[in-house]
Amino acid sequence: MRVNKGLLSVIAVATVASLGGLTTTATAATKKVTTTYSSQSHALIIRGQTSRHAKLVLNYQGKPVATSTVKAGKFTITQPFQGYGTFKLVDGSQVLATIPAKRYAAPRVIVISAEQTAKGIHYTVANASHTTLTITQNGRYLKTIKATRPRTNLFLSNAQLKHGSHGLRITQRVPNKKTSPAVKLPVLKANIKQVTNF
């Protein structure tokens, strides 16, 4: 049996083009997905455009938490939540968008150094520019600092500290983002000048 080589070439090109078209459609189906965080309602707000006409499902940490019907190619989902898990926007088995915590929450503060003196504790931390740093001790508010540079020096006097350096935590907050996860500040030895680098 003779096979026309030209016909085979046409079929092969058509098959590759068809597969390529499917890939392109899946990639371009959803675009311009934006996320913001509302500190008033403690909710993630997701907006986007899609060529799909299905009901979208929002999963949080692997479990469905919300649905949204696409109208005129657009969708909006407002979902209150707790924690710092990953969201996934899906249409059936197709993942349209993955939203990790770094997209909706401020980054963790990084402790560069800590030093305890006779008057109190000095900290140097790396933070986001134009952020609000908050320090608590065992859940009790101690101090808020508005920082404008990516490195900040902090001081806590002995009068502010109820239990030495135990139970101290620091967070940061930037506009339109969830407050960062709390970072535990190191426990330092009393009345001893000690510098700890991280």
Per-residue pLDDT tens over the stretch 13-65: 333 333 333 222 333 466 688 999 999 999 999 999 888 767 899 999 999 99
Position 1 pLDDT exceeds 70: no
At residue 80, the pLDDT reads: 97
At residue 44, the pLDDT reads: 97
Whole-angstrom distance, CA of residue 28 vs CA of residue 13: 22
Tell me the average pLDDT of the chain.
83
- DSSP state letters, 149-183: SSEEEEEEETTT-SBTBTTEEEEEE-TTSBPPPPE
pLDDT exceeding 70 applies to what percent of the chain?
79
Question: pLDDT-derived band of residue 193, with 50, 70 and 90 as boundaries?
Answer: low
* Domains of the chain, start order: 31-104 (2.60.40.10), 110-197 (2.60.40)
- Average pLDDT (128-136) is 96
Report CA-CA distances (Å) from 143 to 136, 139, 172, 189: 7, 12, 12, 21
Position 128 pLDDT exceeds 60: yes
Residues 141-186 pLDDT 10s: 999 999 999 999 999 999 999 888 899 999 999 999 999 999 999 8
